[in-house]
A and B are shown apart, each in its own frame.
Chain A
Amino acid sequence: MTRKQRRLYFVLLGMLALGGAVALVLTAISDSLVYFYSPTDIITQRIPEGRRMRVGGLVEEGSVAKDGKTVIFKVTDLSNTIPVAYAGILPDLFREGQGVVVEGRMEKGGQFQASEVLAKHDEKYMPKEVADALKKSGQWNDGKKN
């Protein structure tokens, strides 16, 4: 095998691997991207029901109600709110008035069915998307609570 042939083999191998990877990425990415919305986005834009998405904001004070293993609460960006239902144990840092990101689907009737609730390790920390959503709704208060 000459050097030229080896180089050809090298290049072909690389292109094959990259081509395969690109094909895999293209087929996977449209199904598995999860978009982030604020409650205001959901109210004002037409967002397809049944698509997997994330919604972030603050857990509205006084909105958390437990019914057996199901928890119902409201996520707000202080302009609009979305009711959320979640079955399971809430993360340790889930609290009223704190930032939260929920992942799941919108259901008919405007309730969000969450399959995952993400609250951060650090209660001083505000998820970046939530901070941006609050800034967008004009309710951002420099991270300090009212």
Chain B
Amino acid sequence: MIAEIGHFALVLAMCVALVQAIVPLIGAKRGNAAWMGVSGPASSLQFLFIAVAFGALTNAYVTSDFSVMNVAQNSHTDKPMLYKVAGVWGNHEGSLLLWITILSLFGFAVTLFGRNLPPGLKARALAVQAMIAVGFLAFILITSNPFARLEPPPVNGQGLNPMLQDPGLAFHPPFLYLGYVGFSMAFSFAIAALLEGRVDAAWARWVRPWTLAAWIFLTSGIILGSWWAYYTLGWGGWWYWDPVENASFMPWLAGTALLHSAIVVEKRDALKSWTILLAIVTFGLSLLGTFLVRSGVLTSVHAFATDPARGVFVLLLLCLAVGGSLTLYAVRAPSMKMGGLFSPISREGALLLNNVLMATGAATVLLGTLYPLIADALNLGKVSVGPPFFNAVFLPLMAPMVLVMAAAPMLSWKRGDLAGVLGRLKFVAALAVAAAMAVWFLQGGSAGPWWTGAGFALAVWLGLGTLLDFAERIGLFARPSQALGRAARLPNSAWGMLLAHFGLAVFIVGLTASSAWTTEHIQSQKMGETIMVGGFGITLKAVDEVPGPNYTASRATFEISKDGKVIDVMQPEKRQYRQPPRPTTTAAIRSGLLGDLYVVIGDADAKGGYVTRLYFNPCIPWLWAGGALLVLGGLISLADRRHRVGAPARAAGAKA
């Protein structure tokens, strides 16, 4: 019964969304306040219905109602409660329901916080938001009904893929979706602005916090996913340039560019049409990501069920949304007024340069991701584009970006003094070169790859450059006694920027060291045998059978010794799940500032030993720390008084 209510609520939500997509738009065109006013209650009602549907599916999972096909295929009574709930979005239908729930939540948030928005802009933005909702609700109702019944119901379910039964992955999809769908806000406001033919600082002040929130979620989602891949896949890597990873990375790149260009719109009233285009592209890439993941057109480690009908439907939605909005952009953008002028050497100029580099980077990732599809369609043979392509193309584009990044915040708006800024940065530059030489010396010259020095130089340049900027902003060198007070008065957005940029520097250290100096030892290891890895001795002591809640594990015990003394014990597992019957690998990881010891146990071999995989992965924790700083910087910036939702609307009201 509850499942039917859920299904019915989705149908009702679709009806409401249809009204919300049409009536406010006509109202805004004719200046009819009552018709425009429909958007508010409609978006609340739409959210209510979709929340009911989401609640109904969650209820079916929590109570293990196996008469619902979706639950029967993806859940099991033995599963821990966390994974029963996470199971709601651990499958195709449920994840789409989560997608649309988040979409309607954002629409509801506009209604809730946007009381002071100009009514025309609000009505149009909510109408665009509802159009997206109509598309996805139709997708769910026509091709992917999560509430379909199963007759007769099975005694128990088929269980959730054990690889997905993991706390990191339980929260990875919701965060990713909050990011993807969050960019729909920037998109809807961009389309609304195109329809109105007006983009101003108030518009940017509205769009920035939403974009920033979406960016924070997407960043956390990507980091969580990498972390999960690192510790569950047992290969010791954290990024594979897999199509599905790229699908989340492309909107991240475009969204990061959007975040920065929106600053220029707000502060300088420039780069307006570029920002609109970025908003469209960012959400277009989010939709493309959904398409790539949901259609299964690309072979990837994320092997979701493939259904051509679904792929075609999402592709259709994608073409409509991107094609329609780009057409509108082509028609309306030229009529938009050009804003403030600036010299190429200025903060705007530097932001624009990095915007272009990031957009180009996203384009190359897009090309590499779609190339196998294009080659297949043109009969050029079946190919896959692997990490060498992305490393050779993407990273060289990012290096100049990082170079500019350290100097850009020190340049002034409109017309900057490049020579002066470089003069202030000369000690940082010297230290960066020194770091490169030190790294070269430490790795034994050409015994390691040539680019490690460049990677560390960039990290030092960006990290110290950011610190120098911070020190200058608080007057640490000029008036040290007042520096603390000034630091306390520094706006949150400045703190956020400094933290996030510094976080990227920390991340680059982890990226460079872990890509260059990982050591891997694969061997058949006998009981009591010691293997030296990264200066640690790793001794296999025992392999025991251990029962888990819904699996049995072979748990290996390794003794870790340093300089002859036993310092730790590591216990990787190989688990055999009962339902579905499937093995998984759980690596044991011992993290340190300098790197991770990473130990995987394999099968027993004929001679009484076990195949073991032992890694030393240098500086991996720096990646997570860098990612955490990025997110923290975003959060602090979001808390800035000037970003508080509602405040910008008053400013806009005052202007009008």
Q: Give the interface of A toward B (CB within 8 A).
A: 1-3, 6, 9-10, 13-14, 17-18, 20-21, 24-25, 27-29, 31-37, 54, 66, 68-69, 87-90, 92-93, 101, 118, 120-125, 127-129, 132
| Interface range for B | 35 or more
Given A31-B388, A129-B382: A122 and B161 interface contact (C-beta under 8 Å)? yes
Knowing A32-B388, A36-B382 touch, does A21 contact B363 (C-beta < 8 A)?
yes
The B605-629 residues at the A interface (CB cut-off 8 A) are: 605-607, 609, 611, 613
Among B163, B383, B606, contact of A121 (Cβ-Cβ < 8 Å): B163
Contact of B412 with A by CB under 8 A: no
Collect the chain A residues with CB atoms within 8 Å of residue B397's CB.
Answer: 17, 20-21, 24
Q: Which residue in A10, A25, A121 is a CB contact (below 8 Å) of B364?
A: A25
Please give, as numbers and ranges, the residues of chain B lying within 8 Å of A101 by CB-CB distance: 299
B605 near A36 with CB under 8 A, answer no
Q: A33 touching B611 by the CB < 8 A rule? A: no
Inter-chain CA distance A89–B604, complex, in Å, is 11
Interface residues of B in 356-401 (CB under 8 A from A): 356-357, 359-361, 363-364, 367, 371, 381-386, 388-389, 392-393, 396-397
Report Cα–Cα, A18/B356, bound state, in Å.
Answer: 9
- In the bound assembly, the distance between CA atoms of A25 and B582 in angstroms comes to 40
Give the residues in chain B near A68, CB-CB below 8 Å: 523-524, 605, 607, 609, 611
A35 to B343, CA, bound (A): 47
**Chain B residues with Cβ under 8 A from A35's Cβ?**
381-383
Chain B residue, CB-CB nearest to A18: B360
Q: Are A88 and B605 in contact (CB under 8 A)?
A: no
**A69, B342: Cβ atoms under 8 Å?**
no
Chain B residues with CB under 8 A of A37: 382
Chain A residues, CB < 8 A from B423: none
B208-238 interface with A by 8 A CB criterion? 234
Q: A68-B605, A88-B613 are in contact. Are A121 and B301 (CB under 8 A)?
A: yes
Smallest beta-carbon distance B189→chain A, Å: 23
How far is it, in angstroms, between the C-alpha of A125 and the C-alpha of B301 when the chains are bound?
Answer: 11
CB neighbours of B301 from chain A (8 A):
118, 120-121
Q: Show 27 residue pairs from A and B whose CB-CB distance is below 8 angstroms, ordered by the A residue.
A: A6-B341, A17-B359, A21-B360, A21-B393, A24-B364, A24-B392, A28-B389, A32-B388, A32-B392, A33-B383, A35-B382, A35-B383, A37-B382, A66-B603, A68-B524, A68-B607, A69-B524, A69-B611, A87-B522, A89-B603, A92-B585, A101-B299, A121-B163, A122-B304, A123-B582, A125-B303, A127-B303
- For B388, what are the chain A residues with a Cβ–Cβ distance below 8 Å? 28, 31-32
Provided the pairs A21-B364, A121-B302 are in contact, do residues A1 and B341 lie with their beta carbons within 8 angstroms?
yes
Decide if B425 is an interface residue (CB 8 Å cutoff). no
Contact across chains for B360 and A28 when beta carbons are under 8 A apart: no
The answer for the CA separation of A122 and B304 in the assembled complex, in Å, is 8
What is the CB-to-nearest-CB distance from A85 to chain B, in angstroms, rounded to a whole number?
13
Closest to A31 in B: B388
| Bound-complex Cα distance A97 to B397 (A) | 44
Q: How many A-B residue pairs have CB under 8 A?
A: 134
Q: Return the contact of A28 from the options B352, B392, B580 (Cβ within 8 A).
A: B392
Q: For the complex, give the distance between the alpha carbons of A13 and B357 in Å.
A: 9
Chain A residue numbers with a CB within 8 Å of B605 are: 66, 68-69
Q: Is B592 on the interface with A (CB-CB < 8 A)?
A: no
Residues of A near B600 (CB, < 8 A) are: 89
B37 at the interface (CB under 8 A from A): no
Q: How far is the CA of A66 from the CA of B382 in the complex (A)?
A: 30
B80 CB-CB contact with A under 8 Å? no
Cβ distance A114 to chain B, nearest Cβ, rounded Å: 13
Chain A residues closer than 8 Å to B357, beta-carbon distance: 17
Cα–Cα, bound, A87→B342 (Å):
59
Given known pairs A24-B364, A121-B301, the reply for A92 and B386 (CB within 8 Å) is: no
B420 at the interface (CB under 8 A from A): no
Q: Which one of A36, A92, A124 contacts B384 once the chains associate, using CB atoms below 8 Å?
A: A36
A4 to chain B, nearest CB (A): 11
Query: In the assembled complex, which residues on chain A have CB atoms less than 8 Å from the CB atom of B383?
Result: 33-36
Q: Are B384 and A34 in contact (CB under 8 A)?
A: yes
**7 additional contacts (CB under 8 A) given A13-B356, A69-B605:** A25-B393, A34-B385, A66-B605, A66-B606, A89-B603, A120-B301, A122-B303
Contact residue among B342, B356, B613 (Cβ-Cβ distance under 8 Å from A1): B342
B2 on the A face (CB < 8 A): no
**Contacts of B524 on A, CB cut-off 8 Å?**
68-69
Question: What are the residues of chain B within 8 A of A118 when measuring CB–CB?
Answer: 301
User: Looking across the interface, which residue of chain A has its beta carbon closest to that of B364?
Assistant: A21
Residues of A within 8 A of B341 (CB): 1-3, 6
The answer, among A1, A6, A17, A123, for a CB contact under 8 Å with B360, is A17
Q: Which residues of A contact B602 (CB under 8 A)?
A: 89-90
Chain A's nearest CB lies how many Å from the CB of B523?
5
CB distance from A33 to the nearest CB of B (A): 5
